[in-house]
Amino acid sequence: MAGQYLTNPDWFNPGTAFIAQGWGALLVGTGVGCWTVRNDGLTTGSRAMLLLLLVTNASWIVLHIMAILNGVETSLAWLQVAMSVVVSSWSAMLLRQPARVVVE
């Protein structure tokens, strides 16, 4: 992974491995939370999950763009930026709706 994303793979150390593992745990927790509230309709929990997705993905957009422009990450990280734009736009769109409609 470091060879694909970092411009200098030697920067990968135990600290970055720990952060990567924490990021993975956060992704699993977010996935479980989203799965739990998927059919709840307009509740505080579902809106909180959408707000979490919006804030975290907007932050990742800024972080990855700064890393790319400062030469820390390779241009492959633009894919992460694109995915974060899609998810943050989707969550912002759902947050703006007064009631979500579940299509079966």
pLDDT-derived band at 78 (thresholds 50, 70, 90) equals very high
3-state secondary structure of 76: helix
Mean pLDDT of 83-87: 95
Token couple for 59: 């932050």
Nearest to 16 by CA among 59, 73, 58: 73
Cβ–Cβ under 8 Å, residues 39 and 49:
no
Rounded average pLDDT over 54-66: 93
User: In DSSP terms, which residues pair with 6 in a beta bridge?
Assistant: 73
Band of pLDDT at residue 101, cut at 50, 70 and 90: low
Residue 38 DSSP one-character state? T
What average pLDDT does the segment 49-59 reach? 93
- In which residue are the tokens 């990968």 written? 12
> What is the spatial distance between Cα 24 and Cα 89, in angstroms, rounded to a whole number?
22
Give the distance between the most distant pair of CA atoms in the chain.
49
Instruction: Assign 99 a pLDDT band (cuts: 50, 70, 90).
Output: low
